[in-house]
Amino acid sequence: DGGITQSPKYLFRKEGQNVTLSCEQNLNHDAMYWYRQDPGQGLRLIYYSQIVNDFQKGDIAEGYSVSREKKESFPLTVTSAQKNPTAFYLCASSGERWGGNQPQHFGDGTRLSIL
């Protein structure tokens, strides 16, 4: 079945460490997104990519980095510069670039905690 796979489900980070969250989709979608969700709050956009080899900062990009070398993959790296990384991270994809009425499909998320 087509869908979005995020891994790992749970991740722990030590102080000063970079960690990478994986997001893979087999929906043949052009656009992919990373969101952060803090307890009891809505989702905030970290980075998004409308096409391979291109990505844009979202509202809270500081301390994060991404790459989009393949259409199906959009990994997110949480760097040591992100001082408060504990959150639930959701990856999404959409079949239409630049907006449109195609809804975003979400993965099951990765919960990141600090050791």
Partner 1 sequence: AQTVTQSQPEMSVQEAETVTLSCTYDTSENNYYLFWYKQPPSRQMILVIRQEAYKQQNATENRFSVNFQKAAKSFSLKISDSQLGDTAMYFCAFMNQRNAGGTSYGKLTFGQGTILTVHP
The answer to whether residues 36 and 43 touch, using CB atoms and an 8 Å cutoff, is: yes
CB atoms within 10 A of CB 19: 18
**Cα–Cα distance measured from residue 98 to residue 29, given in angstroms and rounded to the nearest whole number:** 12
Name which of 41 and 86 has its Cβ closer to partner 1. Answer: 41
Q: Is position 101 an interface residue for partner 1 (rule: CB under 8 A)?
A: yes
What residue spans of the chain are helical by DSSP H? none
From 19-27, 66-74, 79-87, 95-103, give the range in contact with partner 1 by CB under 8 A: 95-103
* Interaction between residue 113 and partner 1 (CB under 8 A): no
Q: Contact positions toward partner 1, by CB under 8 A? A: 31, 33, 40-45, 48, 50, 56, 58, 88, 90, 92, 94, 96-101, 103-106, 108-109
